[in-house]
Structure 1
Amino acid sequence: MQILVVDDDALAGEMTAAVLEDQGFEVVQAADAVEAVEQLNTHPQIVLIVSDMNMPLISGIDLYRDLKEQGQTLPFILLTGDDPATLSAKEPGLDGCIQKDFNLEQSLPIAVTQALAR
C-alpha cells in the first residue's frame, strides 16, 4: 500500500517515511501541497495522506480542506508541532492529528492503522 507523505522539511519527511516503511508501506513523498496533488494524480494507488501542518504557502490543514472540496476521500493524518487536540476540534473530519515529536515512531503507526480501518 502506498502512503503520501507531505513535508517541506526533507529530513522530517524522510523520518516520517522511514517509520511508515518499517511498517511495510511504500511511501511517495511531496515537498509541498502542489507537489502532493501532482503525486496523487500520478499515483492512483495511494491509500492515505500524512501531511505536516506548518508548510509555506499552503498549510497541511488547507491542503486537507482543498482536497475535500475537490471530492478527495482518502484518509488524511495531520502531523503538527502544535496541540493536536485543538486542531482536531477545529477540523473534526481529519482521520488523525498527532504530535510531531519523539513519540512519532509509536503514534504514527497507530494513527495509520486506525485511519485505514475506517
Structure 2
Amino acid sequence: MHILVVDDDPLAGEMTAALLESQGHEPLLANDAMEAVEQLDTHSDIKLIVSDMHMPLVSGLALLAMLREQDNHLPFILLTGDTPDASLRQTPGLDACLCKDAELAWTLEAAVKQALDS
C-alpha cells in the first residue's frame, strides 16, 4: 500500500515521505498536481494522499476538488505552513489539515491512522 505525497518543495516532500516511511508506510512522491494524477493512474494501490496546500498552478485544495470531481474519494490530508483555521479544517472531502510544525511527526501519524481506519 502506498501513500502519495504531493509537494512542490523537494526537501519538504522528502521529509514528509521520510516521516511516513519511519511509520511503516510506503510513500510515493509527486512534485505537483499533474504528477499526482500520473502517480494515481500508475499505482492502483495508493490508499491516501498527503498534499502541501500552497503549490504553484494547482494548490492542494484545488487538487482535492479536482479529484473529488473525478469521483476519486481517497483519504486526503492537507499540510500547510500556516495555522489552519476552522473553515479550512472543515473543507468537504478533507480528512485532516495539519500545520507543518515541530509536532508534524506525531500529528501526521495520528491523522494517517485515522484516515486509513475510517
Instruction: Show structure 1 runs of 5+ residues with no match.
Output: none
Contact 2:2 2:26 in 1 (8 A): yes
- The two structures, once aligned, show a CA RMSD in angstroms of 0.9
Q: Secondary structure of 1:24's match?
A: coil
With structure 1 as the length reference, what TM-score do the two structures score? Answer: 0.95
Query: Partners in 1 of 2:65 and 2:94 — Cα distance?
Result: 10
Instruction: Show structure 2 runs of 5+ residues with no match.
Output: none
Percent sequence identity over matched residues? 62
Aligned residue in 2 for 1:80: 80
Deviation at 1:103?
Answer: 1.1
What does the per-residue CA deviation read over 1:21-71, in whole Å, with 9 as the maximum and x for residues that have no partner?
001111110000000000000001000000000000000000000000000
Aligned residue in 2 for 1:109: 109
What does the per-residue CA deviation read over 1:78-99, in whole Å, with 9 as the maximum and x for residues that have no partner?
001122234113x132111110
Query: Partners in 1 of 2:110 and 2:36 — Cα distance?
Result: 23
Q: Which runs of 4+ in 1 moved over 3 A?
A: none
Aligned residue in 2 for 1:9: 9
Q: Secondary structure of 2:85's match?
A: helix
Q: Secondary structure of 1:84's match?
A: coil
Moved more, 95-104 or 32-41: 95-104
